[in-house]
Structure 1
Amino acid sequence: MFRSIWIASAHTRDFLRRYMPTNVALDAIRTRPGLKWGVPAMLVAIPYLFAASFVTVLVDDGAPGWLYLLVLLFIWNALKFAIMGPVSVVLLIGVRASERRERRVQRARADAFA
């Protein structure tokens, strides 16, 4: 029973990771060329928070209560994008530092053989 639940959750996570638009966008931001888009991508959190606010008002005015699931989804996606900005800056600093180190090593090797 536990094994079946574990396998189902792994397949669900894999599906969501590959095909949900926010996860695809965040995976693209985590690539080397995409790291520069992390901070501007934080602005995507604003429409998600607006949508969450709008749906909350709808539910408070009499819409079905299950719409709170959408509110939860909107807030979760807003948090993902808001967190990705600082994370991408840290990753970009690390990548640029390693690229700088690699260039320094290559120059030292070229000077040693010249």
Structure 2
Amino acid sequence: MLRLFWNLSIRVRLFLRTYMPTNILLNALRTRRGLKWGVPAMLIAVPYLLGAWLLTVWIADGGPGWLNLLVLLFIWNALKFLVNGPITLVILIRARLAERRDGRLVERESAAYAAGDDLPVLTATRL
């Protein structure tokens, strides 16, 4: 039974990550090229929160109760974008520091090679 639920959850997660627009956008923001857009993408949460508020007003004025599901969906999507912003900022800082460290290593090696020194032994760098 546990295996059935495990496989079902894997398939649902794969479907959601592949076909849901907010998840596709969040996946694109987590690439190296998209990291710089993580913090500005937090602004996408504003229309979601506005939509959730408008739906709650409509529900309070006698609208159908099933709209509560849309309110939950809008709030969930807004939270995804709000949380993703700081995470992408930290990942971007780490990536830029690693790029700077690797660039300095290459400069040192090329300077040593140009000076005619023996090439230093390369050390493994953390990516």
Under TM normalisation by the shorter chain, which class is it?
over 0.9
- Give the whole-Å Cα distance in 2 for the aligned partners of 1:42 and 1:103: 31
Unaligned runs of 5+ in 2: 115-127
Q: How far off its partner does 1:39 sit?
A: 1.2
Q: Radius of gyration: which is bigger?
A: 2
- If asked which structure has higher relative contact order (CA below 8 Å, sep 6+), I would say 1
Matched residue, 1:65: 65
Unaligned runs of 5+ in 1: none
Q: 1:13-92 maps to which residues of 2 (within 5 A)?
A: 13-92=13-92
Query: How many residue pairs are counted as aligned between the two chains?
Result: 114
Amino acid across the alignment from 1:108? R
- TM-score norm. by structure 2 comes to 0.85
- Give the whole-Å Cα distance in 2 for the aligned partners of 1:98 and 1:28: 21
Higher helix share: 1
Root-mean-square deviation (Å):
1.0
Q: How far off its partner does 1:57 sit?
A: 1.2
SS of the aligned residue for 1:65 comes to: coil
Amino acid across the alignment from 1:80? K
Instruction: Indicate the percent of aligned positions where both proteins have the same amino acid.
Output: 58
Q: How far off its partner does 1:2 sit?
A: 2.0
Q: How far off its partner does 1:112 sit?
A: 2.0
